[in-house]
Every structure is written in structure tokens, then in C-alpha cells.
Amino acid sequence: MKILMVLCAVVAACYGECENKDRSFPSDFLFGCATAAVQIEGGWNADGKGESIWDRITHRYPELVSGPVLNPDVSCDSYNNWKRDVEMMREMGLTAYRFSLSWSRILPKGFANEVNPKGIEYYNNLINEMVKYNITPLVTLYHWDLPQPLQDLGGLANPLITKWFEDYARVAFTNFGDRVKHWITFNEPREVCYEGYGFNNKAPLVNSSAIGTYVCAKNLVLSHANAYHLYDKEFKPIQGGECGITLSVQWFYPMTDSAEDAYAAEIMRQAEWGIYAHPIYSKEGGFPKEFAERVAAKSKEQGFGWSRLGEYTEEEKAWARGTSDFFGINHYTAFQISATKYIEASPVPSLTDDEGFGHFRPAEWPVAASAWCVMAPNSLYNAITFLNNKYNPPKFIITENGWSIAIGRDLIDDDRITYHRAAWEDVLDLLAAGVNVKGYMAWSLMDNWEWLGGVTERFGLYAVDFEDPARTRTARKSAFVYKQLIKDRCIDYSYNPTNLTMTIDE
């Protein structure tokens, strides 16, 4: 034992031992990191790329973004640094990596009649490099960067988006599907529809909460369903992969054990992610019942001749039902929900008024650099257990989970390590309970351009120097801790690296 400890002190690649080896991840579990095109690629107009809604809003309204980096023109410059990105994956020993395709890099005007060969080449290079090192690609088709010409026609508020998206999906499946076996149609419908169409903190800044959110919700789900059916019918039989969707699932605890608080928490779940999950994963399909009744009643009171939520026809219900081979879940945080307390005034009509309940976070829950990102006890376990009981999907993939630190912090990110280790404990608890969780993607591989937060909120296991034209990446302590987890497949609390020199273990 003593010899081992001495050896460990001199050999960087030597790790401690997990106290409880029974608590370990299965050998086929996918350990990865996640990123998104806008947030890392840069090259916003390189080699024929078209304009996306994020290029448009940041160039037009730079004042909306927190400084010092006001737009994603360069981001981490992964358009040029993709080899280094794969090298980082190899350093940590990742077995998977989730990234997104830029629709306007592939189809500069959004439509499939004009394909940009340089865009195809970029993703081919990246995918080939990953495959060379046995890193499984998980590819998101849409992580928030709609081509601007499609937005000019209404974007996700135009029902024709279902066709436009299907055409785009076909181009992606055709070009990359021989090597990509895990497709995610949309990242976080709630953020697309509420934050982008119902509010003004994501492109395209439509800010129509009471109507836009819901119009987008159904169009998005039907677009997803079109891409799923296309894959299922024409590509899956040949390529043999799977296609699903990723929802943002924050957890909502009832504040007390009263029936009113239980109802309030359930309404929040339905409003925040049930309107996307229910049509896809439930047996009956369509919008979740209690929330649909609530919006219908309020709409009537408010003088609308129809429910602002809208509804699915029987045909649409059947088309959307069962269209996901896995449940992709992005999870960061939780709230306590109260039927009577902490209720904030909301405009009438609005999504928040339709929800109508109070939310709260106890002071003892630690807060990240992003004010919304709060660490709540066992929230990942609770969220997935609930979804598993309610929808019983074939499998879960955790497609994002992470913690931000402030700009200027150094490489020692112990708070992030604490957060991730707690999440991994939750995953082990889920596995022990027999829940089929297949993978975990940490957000994020590296610091990146955090939407309107610019580069002020740093989620990276690797730090990125945004002042350096080369956008140099440096492993943080958390990258070493992730590497230990992947190597040993169990959590080792005694592992506390001090030498942060990262190398590739062959």
C-alpha cells in the first residue's frame, strides 16, 4: 500500500481507489461532454456559412450581451480548433461527445436546395477524428441557431417549419448517418419556445409568452416527429442508429406535503416540460390534461374564443406519439413550488400567469456563477425517477448537467467537482433502482459563449482564454476528476489532484 502511494505521487496517471466498488458504472455507459455550435465554433460567416438568428440579434443588439465578448463570431474558434477539441476528449478518456450542427453552416439559406460543401466537410473532419479514437458522436440537429431566412418567415411560429426541419434532417442523416448513430432533434424545446418566442432572453426575441410559446411548442414537437419518422423509415433500417429529443427538465418539489402544493408542482412540471414530453412519451398523446384545462379556462375568461395552448388533432397525436428512442434530459437545478406563497405578479395573459404558482429556493442550496443554477439535493434522481414512472421511456441519456464559475476564477474548481460528484451519485442510485440510464454528458467540454451571458459564466471542464487569438484550452481540476471517474467507473473521494498537467493515457 505504501509503495503504491509513493508510486501514485510520482506517476500522474495513478489514481486512488474507490471506497465502494459495488457502486460502479456499467462498462458500456457513455461518459461524455456536451457543447453547441454557436457556443464554440465561431467562423460565423466562414466558407459560405449563412446568417443565423444569433448572428442577427447579437450584431443588431450587442447591448443585450454581457461583456467582454458580445457575439459568437469567434467563440472558442472550434471551426479551426476541432483537432484540439478531440485531443481534450482523449485526454479525459471520454467515450462520447455531444455537439450540435449549425443549420446555416450546412444550408446557408436554411432550405435544402443549397448545400454548403465546406460545412459538410467541417463536420466530416470532426466526426472522423472522433471515430478514429472510438469516441461516440451524439449529434444535436438544432441547438437554437435557426437560419435567419427561416426566421424572416416566422421561424418556429410558422407550421411549415415541420417541412423545413425535415429537409434539413435528411441532409444530416444522409451525410453523417453512416458514422453518427445517436441523433437528437432539438435541444430544450422549453428554452426555444419560452425563452425565444415567449420571452426576450434568447433569439429571436419574440417576447410573446401567452401565445408564441405555445404556437412554437406544437410546431416544434411536430417538426421533431417528422424528423423521427423520416429516420425511422428511411435511415434506421440501413444505418441502425437511434433518434430522440432532449428536454430541459428542472425539478419542481412541492414546498409542503399539502395536496395544493402537490397540484402546484405538477402544474409547473406540465407547463415547463410536460407540454413537450406528453405528446411524445405519453400513451394518450397531446398536451397534458390539467395544464390544458387551466389554459383553456383562463383563455375563455380573458376573452379568447379558443385556448391559447392550442390542441393536437387525433392525427397529430398519433404522429407525435412514441417518436423518441431515448429520453434526452438536460438537468441543472430545481425549485420548491408553493400554491400560496412566493407568487409573483405576472402579466395577464402570460405563461407565468397560466402557471400561477410561487417558486422558491432555500438559502442553503449553493448557487453557481449563473444565478439560475442552484444545486438542489438529489434533483437529478428525483426528476428521472418521476419521468421513468410517468412515461417509462426505453432509456435515458443525460445530455447536459453542469455548474458555472465566475470569470477570472482559476483552474481549481472544487465547487464544480462537488456538483458533478453529487450528480454521479444520483445516477448510481438510478442505476441501482433499475432505471435504464445509458450516458452522462457534462456541460461543458470547455468554457464557451454562454448566449446573452457572453463569456461571464464558465461551465468548462477546460478553461478557455478568450483574450488569446488561439483560444488556448487548459484542463481544470474537474477535468482530472472526470477522467478518474471514467477510468475507474466509480467515484473516488480521496482523489484530489494537485498537479494539473494533462496528458493522454494510451
Cα distance from N-terminal residue to C-terminal residue, the chain: 25
Running DSSP on this structure, what letter comes out for residue 147?
B
Output the DSSP codes for 479-495: HHHHHHHHHHSS--TT-
Nearest of 491, 357, 376 to residue 429 by alpha carbon: 491
Asked if residues 357 and 266 have their Cβ atoms less than 8 Å apart, the reply is: no
Q: What angle do CA 274, 279, 283 make, to 5 degrees?
A: 105
Window 454-493: residues binding ligand GBH (CB under 6 A): 459
Residue 29 parent element (H or E): none
The active-site residue, picked from 188, 355, 450, 457, is 188
Which segment (19-27, 147-155, 183-191, 342-350) binds ligand GBH by CB under 6 A?
Answer: 183-191
| 3-class SS of residue 156 | helix
330 contacts ligand GBH (rule: CB under 6 A): yes
400 contacts ligand GBH (rule: CB under 6 A): yes
How large is the angle between the packed helices 161-176 and 117-132, nearest 10 degrees? 50
Least spacing, CB of residue 232 vs ligand GBH, in Å: 25
Question: How far apart are alpha carbons 122 and 259 in whole angstroms?
Answer: 54
Among 187, 223, 239, 336, the residue binding ligand GBH under the rule CB under 6 A is: 187
Which segment (66-74, 123-131, 187-195, 221-229) binds ligand GBH by CB under 6 A?
Answer: 187-195
Question: How far apart are alpha carbons 307 and 292 in whole angstroms?
Answer: 8
> In terms of residues, how long is the chain?
506
Give me the sign of the Cα torsion angle 344, 350, 354, 355.
Answer: negative
Nearest residue to ligand GBH on Cβ basis: 372
* Phi, psi angle pair for 190, to nearest 5°: -60, -40
Question: How far apart are alpha carbons 384 and 399 in whole angstroms?
Answer: 13
Q: Which is nearer to ligand GBH, 98 or 218 (CB)?
A: 98
Output the DSSP codes for 30-67: EEEEE--HHHH---TTGGG---BHHHHHHHH-GGGSPS
Among 18, 30, 33, 36, the residue binding ligand GBH under the rule CB under 6 A is: 36
Q: Is 191 in the active site?
A: no
Q: Which is nearer to ligand GBH, 188 or 426 (CB)?
A: 188
Least spacing, CB of residue 158 vs ligand GBH, in Å: 23
Q: Which residues pair with 338 in a beta bridge?
A: 358
Window 112-171: residues binding ligand GBH (CB under 6 A): none
Residue 181 parent element (H or E): none
Q: Which is nearer to ligand GBH, 148 or 370 (CB)?
A: 370
Strands 334-338 and 358-360: antiparallel
Q: Which is nearer to ligand GBH, 446 or 485 (CB)?
A: 446
Q: Which is nearer to ligand GBH, 354 or 492 (CB)?
A: 354
Q: Which is nearer to ligand GBH, 36 or 65 (CB)?
A: 36
406 contacts ligand GBH (rule: CB under 6 A): no
Least spacing, CB of residue 370 vs ligand GBH, in Å: 6
Question: Rg of the Cα trace of the chain?
Answer: 22
Q: Which is nearer to ligand GBH, 127 or 249 (CB)?
A: 249
State the amino acid at position 74 in one-letter form. Answer: V
Among 450, 482, 483, 492, the residue binding ligand GBH under the rule CB under 6 A is: 450
Q: What angle do CA 123, 484, 376 make, to 5 degrees?
A: 85
Q: Which is nearer to ligand GBH, 352 or 370 (CB)?
A: 370
Nearest of 32, 33, 328, 325 to residue 189 by alpha carbon: 328
Which segment (73-81, 118-126, 185-193, 296-304) binds ligand GBH by CB under 6 A?
Answer: 185-193
Question: How far apart are alpha carbons 222 and 184 in whole angstroms?
Answer: 14
Window 334-373: residues binding ligand GBH (CB under 6 A): 370, 372
Window 428-447: residues binding ligand GBH (CB under 6 A): 443
299 contacts ligand GBH (rule: CB under 6 A): no
Among 191, 266, 355, 413, the residue binding ligand GBH under the rule CB under 6 A is: 191
What track of x and - describes contact with ligand GBH for positions 247 through 276 (by CB under 6 A)?
-x----------------------------
Least spacing, CB of residue 343 vs ligand GBH, in Å: 18
Least spacing, CB of residue 263 vs ligand GBH, in Å: 24
Q: Is 400 in the active site?
A: yes
Window 71-100: residues binding ligand GBH (CB under 6 A): none
Which segment (8-16, 73-81, 186-194, 311-319) binds ligand GBH by CB under 6 A?
Answer: 186-194
Asked if residues 179 and 128 have their Cβ atoms less than 8 Å apart, the reply is: yes
Q: Which is nearer to ligand GBH, 187 or 307 (CB)?
A: 187
The residue assigned the cell 418521476 is 386
Question: How far apart are alpha carbons 452 and 38 in whole angstroms?
Answer: 12
Least spacing, CB of residue 44 vs ligand GBH, in Å: 17
Least spacing, CB of residue 450 vs ligand GBH, in Å: 5
Q: How many residues bind ligand GBH (CB under 6 A)?
A: 15
Question: How far apart are alpha carbons 424 and 376 in whole angstroms?
Answer: 14
Question: How far apart are alpha carbons 351 and 271 in whole angstroms?
Answer: 8
Which positions lie near ligand GBH, rule CB under 6 A? 36, 39, 187-188, 191, 201, 248, 330, 332, 370, 372, 400, 443, 450, 459
The residues that are catalytic are 188, 400
